[in-house]
Amino acid sequence: MRPPLTLRVHALLKRSYANGPGCRAVVWVQGCSIRCAGCCNPGAQDRTGGRVIAVAEVLAWVRSITSIEGVTLSGGEPLDQPEAVAALLRRVRRTTDFSVILFTGFDWTRVAGTPALMDVARLADVVVAGPYRRRQHLGYALLGSANQTIHLLTDRYKLPDLEAVPEVEVVLDEVHTVLTGVNDATVT
């Protein structure tokens, strides 16, 4: 019997308004081969950090959340775990009507030219692609820097939907403060 497929996860957030249109669940994967200078989430870069969770358990967590529009995958680098991320997104698509936003630090040309990566990207409504470049910091319409590109892969969203997303949000819980969004460099 094959062991359950797992995903190395950095963090989970039940409700976010700064990671795509509407209220969204966010899955930050752990591990990043790109390691952009000035990364807003350097704690997610170490491939041995975070925790390993069965894909089925992550799906159950997503499905248990009420009143959300969709799920966003960020990182770390989601496409460093293509098999697990694809399995999760296929199950999200099959069992919910949630939208999917995928952030990747890989350039779109690399994603489009690599069948395994494109198979994952096709499971999303929107893909934000490209490495973060500090000197080109932007923080607009889900873009962290001006070199990044937005790819609307379904008709679910249009560019104005992404432009309306808040640049940053602060989430307070019992344990710690979570700062999230693409323009968190402006918060001091």
pLDDT in tens, 113-140: 999 999 999 999 999 999 999 999 887 8
The candidate with the shortest Cα–Cα distance to 45, out of 27, 29, 63, is 29
- The CA distance from 74 to 128, in Å, is 10
Residue numbers of the chain with a pLDDT score lower than 70: 173-188
Residue 177's pLDDT is: 54
Residue 39's pLDDT is: 85
Contacts of 14 (CB under 8 A, 6+ apart): 25, 65, 68
Residue 114's pLDDT is: 97
Inter-residue contact 105 to 27 (CB < 8 Å):
no
Mean pLDDT of the chain: 92
Residue 170's pLDDT is: 84
Residue 186's pLDDT is: 43
Q: How far is CA 84 from CA 34, 54, 89, 123, 148, in A?
A: 19, 9, 9, 13, 24
Q: Which two tokens stand for residue 116?
A: 């395994």
User: What radius of gyration, in Å, describes the C-alpha atoms of the chain?
Assistant: 15
What is the reported pTM? 0.91
Residue 45's pLDDT is: 93
Residue 37's pLDDT is: 87
- 123 φ, ψ to 5°? -85, -5
